[in-house]
Amino acid sequence: MMTYSGGTVNNPDAIGHDFARNFLSDLGKFSPGNMISMILFIGALTIVGALFTGYFYYFMKIYPLNQPLGWLVRISCISGIFGALCFAGVGFTPHNVLFNPHIFFVNWAFRSFLLTSILMSIIVFRDERFLFRYGIGYSAFAVMIFLYILILEFGPNPEANDMALVFSVVAQKIIILVFMLSVLFQTFGNSKLLAQKSTD
How large is the average pLDDT for residues 73-101?
Answer: 95
Look at residue 154 in the predicted model and tell me its pLDDT.
94
According to DSSP, the residues that pair with 16 across neighbouring strands are 6
- Do the beta carbons of residue 44 and residue 91 sit within 8 Å? yes
pLDDT category, 196, cuts 50, 70, 90?
low
d(CA 151, CA 107): 11
CA distance linking residue 53 with residue 183, whole number of Å:
13
Considering the entire predicted model, what is its pTM? 0.88
pLDDT-derived band at 62 (thresholds 50, 70, 90) equals confident
Is residue 199 scored above 70 in pLDDT? Answer: no
Distances 3 to 91, 114, 183 between C-alpha atoms, Å: 16, 32, 27
Secondary structure of the chain as H, E, C letters: CCCCCECCCCCCCCCECCCCCCCHHHHHCCCHHHHHHHHHHHHHHHHHHHHHHHHHHHHHHHCCCCCCCHHHHHHHHHHHHHHHHHHHHHHCCCCCCCHHHHHHHHHHHHHHHHHHHHHHHHHHHHCCCCCHHHHHHHHHHHHHHHHHHHHHHHCCCCCCCHHHHHHHHHHHHHHHHHHHHHHHHHHHHHHHHHHHHHHC
Q: Give 137-178 pLDDT, tens digit per residue.
A: 889 999 999 999 999 999 999 999 999 999 999 999 999 999
How crowded is residue 180: how many other Cβ atoms within 10 Å of its Cβ? 10
Q: What is the number of other CB atoms lying within 10 angstroms of the CB of residue 126? A: 12
